[in-house]
Amino acid sequence: MSAATIEENEGAGPFEVTHRLVLSIAIPMTLGFLTTPLLGLTDTAVAGRLGSADALAGMAVGSVLFDLLLGSFNFLRASTTGLVAQAFGRGDRREEQAVYWRSLTIALCCGLAIALLSPLLLSAGLFLMAPSPTVAEVTSTYFTIRVLAAPMALANYALLGFVLGRGQGMTGLALQAIINGINIVLSITLGLGLGWGVAGIAWGTFTGETVGMIAGLLIVVTRFDRAQRPARAEIFARARMKALFSLNRDIMIRTFVLIGAFAIMTRIGSSMGPLVLAANAVLMNIFLVAGYYLDGLANAAEQLVGRAFGANFRPAFDRAVRLTLFWSFGLGIVTTLLFLLFGTDVIGFLTTTESVQAEAVKYLPWAALTAITGALAFQMDGVYIGATWSSAMRNMMLVAFVGYLAALALFVPLLGNHGLWLALNLFLAFRGIFLALRLPGLAGRQFA
């Protein structure tokens, strides 16, 4: 079954999960998500060519703060994907549209609130990260501009969640390419070409998110079947909204803890000095590349598991879990090997500062390993999101986070920055293992 077939198929009832079906969703989304780390690589390279470690470190802190803030709302994409996929599996087109409008409304309201509260949020973020005064000045410039895109960025979460829930991988690829392609071009043009520096990078992000939202609305809404349009009372029905908020709450807690773990890593790296902070910022782009590779397969798991739930068809569920696991680990191993072979060249591209290059190379193997240690975690996240097992996913994340804190307390004093990266790899492994252990019992109850 091709990507075009999955987009046009009514989707209801039993269906066969094949390698081709998995890849028809995963490959376009992997390509789409890869534009995001390419954007990160570009932004880091632009900042790295400004001739100052403070500029690179300041943008790194600003990016972490923004990711911590907006990433906490990633539940908008995840919950939309799971609920739309289940409605797709039932053949309930009316509910698909209703889920979309609920999520988009919440996204726009949350985005406006973030923009209005941005001065307080920036102050709290700088207090949390405690950068040096010169780094903090760069961070403030970057954050103040980029936060203006918050409503558009969150609306894009809802848009992407909808198309992923229907298995429309090519549409998702198009949306990601529009957002990040514009961002990349403008970051280079404004940041380096016109000499705007970090401010130019931030304005590039704002423009990309805005154009992406407009394009997404046009693509999605024009495809809706007017005969299946839900009434306003259906969209905002109390029971439906309550269920959505409950699901979003659990995923938000899980996501906040996840991004909080990365913020803690940046905070600890900052305490080791600007050189280590800058080196870790470069290496985090390698981790993000691995993560976005694996996210494509996680999205395939979300859609196929959610569709199997909607159709109440256990064989499709079991095979979706097996095949996405196979491809996730296979891709993780290949990614790790590629970064071990070519990671030094990637580091050289990201920064021209020799001291930062030398520091980053020391910890390159740890960053490359995240593709393997994170393979099960990403795949299991996809399974749990598609199944809307949000409370179990939240609880396992909290348990894994406790293990992460213990690893930090044990290994950072002994090994320094090596211990910091070791703890991150253990955290990724804990997440995947704990979720996998819960899977058989949850599936048994669902399909009993």
- CA-closest candidate to residue 169, choices 7, 388, 10, 325: 7
Alpha-carbon span 260 to 71, nearest angstrom: 10
* Residue 319 pLDDT exceeds 90: yes
What does the CA dihedral 210, 214, 216, 219 come to, rounded to 10 degrees?
A: -160
**In whole numbers, what is the pLDDT of the chain averaged over residues?**
84
Q: The pTM is what?
A: 0.80
Please give the residue that has the higher pLDDT: either 2 or 236: 236
Query: pLDDT per residue over 137-185, tens digit each?
Result: 777 788 888 888 889 989 998 998 999 888 887 888 888 888 888 888 8
Cα–Cα distances (Å) from 409 to 18, 419, 430, in that order, read 44, 9, 16
pLDDT in tens, 101-120: 999 999 999 999 988 988 88
d(CA 412, CA 268): 9
Tokens of 397: 């994340």
For residues 44-62, give the mean pLDDT: 69
Q: Two tokens at 153?
A: 């960025």
Model confidence at 321: pLDDT above 70: yes
The predicted structure's pLDDT at residue 12: 64
Q: Which amino acid is at 202?
A: A
pLDDT in tens, 149-160: 889 989 998 998
User: Distance between alpha carbon 280 and the CA centroid of its chain, in Å?
Assistant: 19
Which residues lie below 8 Å from residue 109, measured CB to CB, with a gap of 6+?
none
Q: Residue 49 pLDDT more than 80?
A: no
Burial 29-51 (b: 16+ CB within 10 A, else e): bbbbbbbbbbbbbbbbbbbbbbe
Distance, in Å, from the CA atom of 312 to the CA atom of 310, rounded to the nearest integer, reads 5
Q: How far apart are the C-alpha atoms of 149 and 428, rounded to whole Å?
A: 30
pLDDT tens per residue across span 190-222: 877 777 777 788 888 889 889 999 999 998 888
What one-letter code names the amino acid at 448?
Answer: A
Summarize the confidence of residues 312-329 as an average pLDDT: 94
